[in-house]
Amino acid sequence: MPTNQTKYDKWRKVLIVNCLIISCVAMLSEIAIVFYYYKAGMAFLPLPLFLFRFLVLPGTVNFAAVIAGKYIIYSPKYKENTKNYTAILVLCVLCACMECVHYVFPAIMCSFCVPVFFSILFQNKKMTSLVQRLGYIFLIFSAVISKVEGGKKLSYLIFDCLVAAIILFCSYIVSIILIKYEEQRTEDVRSCYKKQMELNEQLKHDLLTGLYNYNAFLEILKLKRNSSCFPIQLAVIDLDNFKYINDTFGHIQGNEVLVYISFLLKKYTSNIGYPARYGGEEFVVLFPETSIEDAFDIVEKIRKDFSEHHFDFSKGIKFTFSCGLAENDGEIITPQKFFDNADRAMYLAKKSGKNKTIISQKHYKYINNQ
CATH number, residue 351: 3.30.70.270
Phi/psi at 37 (5° precision): -60, -40
Residues 313, 188 share a domain? no
Strand 274-279 and strand 282-288: the pairing is antiparallel
Residues 257, 300 share a domain? yes
Q: What is the predicted pLDDT for the residue at 45?
A: 74
Q: What is the predicted pLDDT for the residue at 362?
A: 54
- Say whether pLDDT at 56 is over 80: yes
pLDDT band at 4 (very low <50, low <70, confident <90, very high): low
Residue 98 contacts residue 111 (beta carbons within 8 Å): yes
CA 148 to each of CA 143, 153, 255, 345: distance values in angstroms, whole numbers, following the listed order: 9, 10, 90, 96
Residue 91 contacts residue 138 (beta carbons within 8 Å): no
Residues 113, 46 share a domain? yes
Cis peptide before 58 (omega within 30 of 0): no
Q: How far apart are alpha carbons 370 and 360 in whole angstroms?
A: 21
Residues 308, 247 share a domain? yes
- 3 state SS of 324: strand
Q: How far apart are alpha carbons 265 and 321 in whole angstroms?
A: 12
138 CB-near residues (< 8 Å, 6+ apart): 95, 96, 99, 100, 112
Mean pLDDT of 246-258: 95
Q: What is the predicted pLDDT for the residue at 270?
A: 86
Residues 222, 355 share a domain? yes
Q: What is the predicted pLDDT for the residue at 5?
A: 59
Strand 356-359 and strand 321-328: the pairing is parallel
Residues 84, 22 share a domain? yes
Residues 284, 218 share a domain? yes
Mean pLDDT of 175-185: 93
Mean pLDDT of 98-111: 87
Mean pLDDT (the chain) is 89
List pLDDT tens digits, range 285-328: 999 999 999 999 999 999 999 999 999 999 889 999 999 999 98
List pLDDT tens digits, range 113-161: 999 999 999 999 999 999 999 999 999 999 998 888 777 788 888 999 9
Q: What is the predicted pLDDT for the residue at 370?
A: 40
Q: How far apart are alpha carbons 279 and 206 in whole angstroms?
A: 9
Domain of residue 293: give its range: 214-368
pTM exceeding 0.85: no
Which helix H or strand E contains 283, and what residues bound it? strand 282-288
Query: Quick one: DSSP state of residue 365?
Result: -
Q: What is the number of structural domains in the chain? A: 2
Q: What is the predicted pLDDT for the residue at 361?
A: 64
Which residue among 197, 227, 259 closes a domain? 197
- Say whether pLDDT at 367 is over 70: no
Q: Is residue 107 part of a domain?
A: yes
- 3 state SS of 346: helix
Q: Is residue 203 part of a domain?
A: no
